Amino acid sequence: SSRLAPSRAAESISRVARKRGLPAMLTYEHHYINGAWVKPAQAAEQLDVIDSHTATTCARVPAGGPEDIERAVEAARAAFDSWSQTPMQERKAKLAAALANWQKKKPKAIEWLQKELGCTKKFASQVQVNLVDAHFGVSLNVIDGLPMEEKLNDLFVVKEPIGVVGCITPWNYPLNQIAAKIGPAMLVGCTVVLKPSEVTPICAYLLAEAIHEAGFPKGVFNMVLGTGPGCGEHLAAHPQVDMISFTGSTRAGRRISEVAAATLKVVRTELGGKSAAVMLDDAPLDKLVPEFMQQLMNNSGQSCDALSRMLVPRSKYDEAVQRAKDFAEKLKVGGFGDEKASMGPLVSEVQWEKVQGLIQKGIEEGARVVCGGPGKPEGLGDGFYVRPTVFADVKNNMTIAQEEIFGPVLSIIPYDAESDAIAIANDTIYGLNNAVGSADADRALSVARRLRSGTVMINGTARNMEVPFGGLKQSGNAREWGRLGIEEYLVTKTLAGRPKAKL
């Protein structure tokens, strides 16, 4: 049946495989369009999902194409008029129901985050799966305090949903990025077409099941699986899509922006980063070196806001390098289900090769390997494992200090004066995140104001989902999370003349 839930469809395929004596393969054959699980419009090839721990295929999903995007956009457009006029309390109830349903999906999501992404069981269960709760929950809490109308000079200025939103999300925090986009968008009355990463699609299916079971009206939420060129670009170009919300690499963000420009739609991007942790000369290195490094090593270094550069005054340089070395050498890279592992493998062979190439480039350009280096950790030969690596004697014009590595690699750069540290931190095409460490909070705040990034962490790495997240320069223009994350999906309308009735 075209309405068969993907999990049930996959189970039936697995039973057939077992009868034939073949290894069971989780196979999804459906997109989610107009309130139903539907087969691709054309007989589509299947995309392999790779287990990061074993480098073997662990699932397959359909490779959608332009016709599937066309059907999904058509459904979203048809649903918009009704959904945008649905009372807020009804929209809140649907999102709350989806969140409640998600709780039942978490055990399976934890399993698949380890397989398709490679993160540790601890990081999957304590962080990744709970980001749906964080974003849906914050949106539900914040929305009632967001004024949707105001009176200016006897005229009314109102905020309305922007329309059909195309959401294109990455593999590194798959649930986080989906929830941060579709939750606020649907809550304010937009309809959405989601194109999740084909690298980590199983988590997207699980969340789509939770949304389907919540009983949203047909066409409010749609999901098409496929590649960026095969699906994402068609979604970005579609004239019936009012907005694209994209998270991914800066290279892909440029392409999406180019394709979307033909229709002059709104494009919001959250892209790469090359974030610096600026240690001032009074920074408590014993506390901050481990904390800033943990922020980098989370998710095996595959975070857009990872603090991958550390700037240290020459007077404290040797101490900082030693503390970084000590921290990195204590990290345990482990396999699937390893309860003691602090890091898992990278997501894919492509990512592994990229990180290995950049580590080698750092060596060739004269940086000093303090620990780690090329190759895999001992005893972990099958998956995409990387040795946590610390480089010292790095100059900011080196490739490893300029390019986003997206792996567990730290570059430690010495500086002379505070003004030099600020200049080095800002000497990058990116502007997503930075950090400052100082025993003097006022001094740290003064430096933070001069750093060109959407976020600056001060004396720690704590996050609050109610404050905006986004970048400057080539890190993109989006502001997600909290109130500003909701406002991304609203447009302002002026009701001119003199309405008799109060709105």
DSSP 8-class letter at 114: I
What's the CA gap between 469 and 350, in Å, rounded? 28
DSSP per position, 408-458 = SEEEEEEESSHHHHHHHHH-SS--SEEEEE-S-HHHHHHHHTTS-SSEEEE
Strand partners, 83: none
Q: Does residue 293 contact residue 461 with C-beta atoms inside 8 Å?
A: no
Q: Mapping DSSP to helix (H, G, I), strand (E, B) and coil, where does residue 20 land?
A: coil
- At residue 501, the pLDDT reads 59
What's the CA gap between 448 and 400, in Å, rounded? 23
The two tokens of residue 121 are: 């069981």
Distance of CA 139 to CAs 9, 38, 188, Å? 33, 30, 10
pLDDT tens-digit profile, the chain (503 residues): 334 454 544 444 444 444 444 456 899 999 999 999 999 998 768 999 999 999 999 999 999 999 999 999 999 999 999 999 999 999 999 999 999 999 999 999 999 999 999 999 999 999 999 999 999 999 999 999 999 999 888 889 999 999 999 999 999 999 999 999 999 999 999 999 999 999 999 999 999 999 999 999 999 999 999 999 999 999 999 999 999 999 999 999 999 999 999 999 999 999 999 999 999 999 999 999 999 999 999 999 999 999 999 999 999 999 999 999 999 999 999 999 898 999 999 999 999 999 999 999 999 999 999 999 999 999 998 999 999 999 999 999 999 999 999 999 999 999 999 999 999 999 999 999 999 999 999 999 999 999 999 999 999 999 999 999 999 999 999 999 999 999 999 999 999 876 665 55
- At residue 309, the pLDDT reads 98
- At residue 13, the pLDDT reads 46
Q: Does an H or E element contain 50, and which?
A: strand 46-51
- At residue 23, the pLDDT reads 53
- At residue 381, the pLDDT reads 86
Edge-to-edge strands, sheet with 191-195: 36-38, 31-33, 221-223, 191-195, 164-168, 243-247, 266-270
Q: Does residue 204 contact residue 223 with C-beta atoms inside 8 Å?
A: yes
What's the CA gap between 135 and 176, in Å, rounded? 8
Tell me the catalytic residues: 270, 304
How many residues would you count in the chain?
Answer: 503
Greatest CA separation for the chain: 76
- At residue 418, the pLDDT reads 98
